[in-house]
Amino acid sequence: MYWLPVLGLAVGIGLGLVTNVVIPVAFTSYLSIAILAALDTVVGGIRASLDKTFDSAVFLSGFFTNTLVAALLAYIGNQLGVDLYLAAVVAFGVRLFQNIAVIRRHVFTLIRQRRVARRMASTKD
């Protein structure tokens, strides 16, 4: 079952290449910030799963909402002449790195727990 996300990624990339969707040049910056928001949500989801607090409904709604709101925020900022784009970049960027740091610690903790478990198993034997 764990190969499914990899397949999903391949399908997504394939769809992107096959459909050949053309994004107007003016909207490419909005798509970029939307991708950043999506990445933030995905990393947040991984962290939540490691924290055992993952909720698929929250994750899915967060993924699409964050993506759309980030793009909308960038668009509004552009219309108003305010760099809300940068605000979104900073906010999502900071959260992204924080989540990655938490995930890293979780991974280290898991690795250490496994080592301890292995040693304890070897001492029992």
Partner 1 sequence: MPARSNRSLVWVATATVAALGFMVTVDLTAEAPVGSGNTSYIDLRTQVSEQAQEHILLEQQISKLEAQLAEYRAASGSQKELRQVLARDERQLAAEAGLTPVTGPGITITIQPDAKLGASPAQMALFPQQADQWLDEVVNVLFGNGATAIAINGQRLVGTSSIRLVQVNGIGSVHVNGRPIEEPYVIQAVGNVQQMETGLSVNVLQGYFEAMGEDFIVRAYPSSDGLTVPAYTGPLPGQYAKEGNG
Question: How many residues lie near partner 1 (CB under 8 A)?
Answer: 42
Q: Cα–Cα distance between 41 and 96 in angstroms, integer?
A: 8
Q: How many helices (H) and strands (E) does the chain have?
A: 4, 0
Q: DSSP labels for 59-102?
A: HHHHHHHHHHHHHHHHHHHHHHT--HHHHHHHHHHHHHHHHHHH
Footprint (CB under 8 A) of partner 1, residues 1-60:
1-2, 4-13, 15-17, 20-23, 25, 28-29, 31-32, 34-35, 38-39, 41-42, 45, 49, 54, 56, 59-60
- The residue ranges that bind partner 1 (CB under 8 A) are 1-2, 4-13, 15-17, 20-23, 25, 28-29, 31-32, 34-35, 38-39, 41-42, 45, 49, 54, 56, 59-60, 63, 67, 74, 78, 85-86
